[in-house]
Structure 1
């Protein structure tokens, strides 16, 4: 049996495990070298083509190290997707892989510079929700990607506060970036503390969950080396959910969990889709509307208090919600609705028309997302209600309850990431973390592990997105995939009706 007492996974051969460990370490080291040769350094010239990358100083070496390092790291992670030899082994290996990335320059994007400038704007009296960093006068604006220099911040007040404190304490650009990386590492460590407890609560082997989450290349490259705020947001979400599954129905615990989840929303808005499913995890005893309102009320109170305090305490208010509208300024085929819009535009061009279908496709996707979120919550509620009359051991019943709530949250995050107007590789970490701790069947993990492996190869060390150079073929391929998924879903639905 596995260490959680759930579905046993096959043993991992020591030789294969050691090979994966040191192959991943070699990959992380090569990525760090690639970062120093051609990463997102402050004074690095912005690239507009692959030729620019190739002809840049150390260009061939940077690209070669990045390609080899990515393949080694992704391959090592994928090879143990059924589970590491033990939870301790998974933690030690993931930590080993992170060591070289701790000393890498910003990798995979230039968002860290945006964070610093938004923090500088707030610290110097400007409202980052009203003006872009260029208009605010940030002295490091040239390091920010051009597309984000004139856009308001789309992040919550708690993260703007953290970024502002990093600027004030850092004493300069490098110091602020280092402190933001410390914040990101703290978020990853918080997630690492929560993963085993959540996995055990769901009856999932913690050695598999810990490996899938912590050793994922997206964590090392984008959360740690890239210092993305997703790290602290995800850490807060997992901590809040852990409090809920361990202390459901306890008012104090529910308020604490609500505060943690509210802070996560005040970092990044995507965390808000977890709240309805967290309310399900908060219920103790039988699932009834009255019990849901009672326990979810304490949770909602904590979340609203966190949002209110951070909004008023920073003086920023709710203006960050408006900044979310500009997050879709970037158009890449990696977002399924954007890809569908591209293909419709291509088809229209063949007939001499310009449908401008991208905004329409994105709007339809958001409507579909709203419907899916409601459907997922109703599914989780119905599944939990069916447990009211189930006669089985208390431990198994508690695991089933936790598993349903967290699976619903993970699927809701997956739907949000896939149907959003824009997709960046590190977005995939959110559903990965929830589904990894809630999925019992090893075979089913492929459905969310494979997309994360693909997402790990979508960017170059300086933050250049490969989707920029593959717009037409990428959009067509993504649209074909969307059609295939829709057809498969319709067939599955018809098959259930026939039964």
Structure 2
């Protein structure tokens, strides 16, 4: 932390700037909470709303003004300290302060929490949520669920279905269930917050920066706290498993426990599985031989498989949740790069009288490409960890040489972070809260922050308080812009490789 200095000194100016950012962000969070009460994702909010119809509603101007100004203030305050908060404690206190108003608002930015409630109700009443949608199950809160998800099976793993059913039993009615689901999401965030300092130290990055970027961002407050998304639970379990791996590599008991935690993360949201191969690298005792990979990776994989099998059997749901994953791409929005490219191909085809139906094709190609990218990232991480010439300084702003353990932890976590980036970019669908997956690990590994903080800041503006997604109303221009951005990135990457 910068030492305080006399009035007008650099330290004093820095402290004043940080204090200003704290209270600007708090003002933004309060405005977002007000917007939630005026026009959040309330149970009786109308569906199919547009920004124009929301504006024309009785409280529409106040709702949109509070939401947009609040988002801008929160994003600006978070952005201003992207290189690190004054101290780790300061980052935690400020993140908690910003989250506090959002704990007590109606659901924000999405109606997914109502889907969670109905899926939990379905299971609690003896119906398999992987066999039928919540409409066929007879959920009494069906009118609160977005129409697109009423007839689709649950796309989440058995652990989260059990948690949702627990929330239903604990909460009783709809309001109590929503409160319980928010408490569960906050518990996931608290677990993630508990693990961040240890992971940051293992990777050699300042904890004050890692905590700030991972916890204080607007996507965390709005969507993981206010929206009560199950991504918070997945991240908590994921980071906890990774912390055990990097602290106790090569120890069978620790690797079994870490594998079990990673397995629980997968059975909340299957996305977590892309991190597992990199966790294996972090858990291997040197040197990186095939025997070591099989031995130590086997312990971790055993814990993961055991957790998946036990939860699938104990819940009585089996592996029906795997089939439910196919419905996660039912929504088509340009915020997913493959979907955007598919839109552009369809537009081009329409100009010559054709209907290519390119979206499913491009999505399928992107998923195949994702598999290839994940393999390449893993092999590259393995090579870097095995290479004695790996960079010896990984601590941001530190002159202390990195220890072998620190180099290994940083390399494995960096590979996991890039795997999550690739997953988000190449997935068939993207929602703003998906950006929290890679953000948590990039905060622990990336040396430069702008390239991933900026997209997260932009994503914060994509949803309105009632869950209206602005991507729905900018389909053509958004698809063209996303495709152009993708081409620009690819061309620049190719030119960099040639040089």
**TM-score (normalised: structure 2):** 0.95
Within the alignment, does 1:457 sit opposite 2:457 as a pair? no
Distance 1:376 1:391, change over 3 A: closer
Within the alignment, does 1:412 sit opposite 2:416 as a pair? no
Given that residues 74 and 218 in structure 2 are in contact (C-alpha distance below 8 angstroms), is that contact kept between their aligned partners in structure 1? Answer: yes
CA-CA distance at 1:394 after TM superposition: 9.2
Distance 2:56 2:168 in 1: 34
Structure 1 range deviating more: 393-402 or 354-363: 393-402
Given that residues 328 and 422 in structure 1 are in contact (C-alpha distance below 8 angstroms), is that contact kept between their aligned partners in structure 2? Answer: yes
Structure 2 stretches lacking a partner, 5+ long? 4-9, 394-399
Structure 1 range deviating more: 267-276 or 481-490: 481-490
Given that residues 286 and 388 in structure 1 are in contact (C-alpha distance below 8 angstroms), is that contact kept between their aligned partners in structure 2? Answer: no
CA-CA distance at 1:484 after TM superposition: 0.7
Within the alignment, does 1:204 sit opposite 2:208 as a pair? no
Distance 1:301 1:455 in 2: 37
Q: Deviations over 1:32-70 (max 9, x none)?
A: 000010000001111332222112231111001000000
CA-CA distance at 1:448 after TM superposition: 1.0
Given that residues 198 and 437 in structure 1 are in contact (C-alpha distance below 8 angstroms), is that contact kept between their aligned partners in structure 2? Answer: yes
What is the RMSD of the two structures over their aligned residues, measured on CA atoms? Answer: 1.7
Task: Give the secondary-structure state (helix, strand or coil) at the position aligned to 1:113.
Answer: helix
CA-CA distance at 1:150 after TM superposition: 0.3
Distance 1:429 1:87 in 2: 20
Q: Which residue in 2 is equivalent to 1:63?
A: 64
Q: Which residue in 2 is equivalent to 1:402?
A: 409
Note the 1:28-39 alignment, pairs <5 A: 28-39=29-40
Distance 2:366 2:2 in 1: 40
Task: Give the secondary-structure state (helix, strand or coil) at the position aligned to 1:186.
Answer: helix
Distance 1:197 1:2, change over 3 A: farther
Within the alignment, does 1:136 sit opposite 2:137 as a pair? yes
Q: Which residue in 2 is equivalent to 1:232?
A: 233
Structure 1 range deviating more: 321-330 or 257-266: 321-330
Note the 1:158-197 alignment, pairs <5 A: 158-197=159-198
Note the 1:470-485 alignment, pairs <5 A: 470-485=474-489
Q: Which residue in 2 is equivalent to 1:330?
A: 331
Distance 1:314 1:57 in 2: 46
Q: Which residue in 1 is equivalent to 2:375?
A: 374
CA-CA distance at 1:390 after TM superposition: 9.4
Structure 1 stretches lacking a partner, 5+ long? 4-9
Given that residues 50 and 468 in structure 2 are in contact (C-alpha distance below 8 angstroms), is that contact kept between their aligned partners in structure 1? Answer: no
Q: Which residue in 1 is equivalent to 2:396?
A: none
CA-CA distance at 1:489 after TM superposition: 1.8
Given that residues 334 and 479 in structure 2 are in contact (C-alpha distance below 8 angstroms), is that contact kept between their aligned partners in structure 1? Answer: yes
Q: Deviations over 1:59-118 (max 9, x none)?
A: 111001000000000000000001000001001100100110010110000000000000
Note the 1:357-372 alignment, pairs <5 A: 357-372=358-373
Given that residues 47 and 53 in structure 1 are in contact (C-alpha distance below 8 angstroms), is that contact kept between their aligned partners in structure 2? Answer: no
Q: Which residue in 2 is equivalent to 1:355?
A: 356
Within the alignment, does 1:468 sit opposite 2:469 as a pair? no
Aligned residues: 486
Distance 1:338 1:44 in 2: 28
Q: Which residue in 2 is equivalent to 1:147?
A: 148
Q: Which residue in 1 is equivalent to 2:7?
A: none
Distance 1:197 1:165 in 2: 31
Distance 1:166 1:327 in 2: 23
Distance 1:218 1:262 in 2: 25
Task: Give the secondary-structure state (helix, strand or coil) at the position aligned to 2:105.
Answer: coil
Given that residues 387 and 397 in structure 1 are in contact (C-alpha distance below 8 angstroms), is that contact kept between their aligned partners in structure 2? Answer: no
CA-CA distance at 1:395 after TM superposition: 5.6
Distance 1:262 1:388, change over 3 A: farther
Distance 2:144 2:293 in 1: 48
CA-CA distance at 1:486 after TM superposition: 1.2
CA-CA distance at 1:404 after TM superposition: 0.5
Q: Which residue in 2 is equivalent to 1:266?
A: 267
Task: Give the secondary-structure state (helix, strand or coil) at the position aligned to 1:387.
Answer: coil
Distance 1:253 1:394, change over 3 A: farther
Task: Give the secondary-structure state (helix, strand or coil) at the position aligned to 1:26.
Answer: helix
CA-CA distance at 1:446 after TM superposition: 1.1
Distance 2:124 2:246 in 1: 38
Given that residues 2 and 86 in structure 2 are in contact (C-alpha distance below 8 angstroms), is that contact kept between their aligned partners in structure 1? Answer: no
Given that residues 204 and 402 in structure 2 are in contact (C-alpha distance below 8 angstroms), is that contact kept between their aligned partners in structure 1? Answer: no
Distance 1:79 1:387 in 2: 38
Given that residues 2 and 205 in structure 1 are in contact (C-alpha distance below 8 angstroms), is that contact kept between their aligned partners in structure 2? Answer: no
Given that residues 287 and 388 in structure 1 are in contact (C-alpha distance below 8 angstroms), is that contact kept between their aligned partners in structure 2? Answer: no
Q: Which residue in 2 is equivalent to 1:100?
A: 101
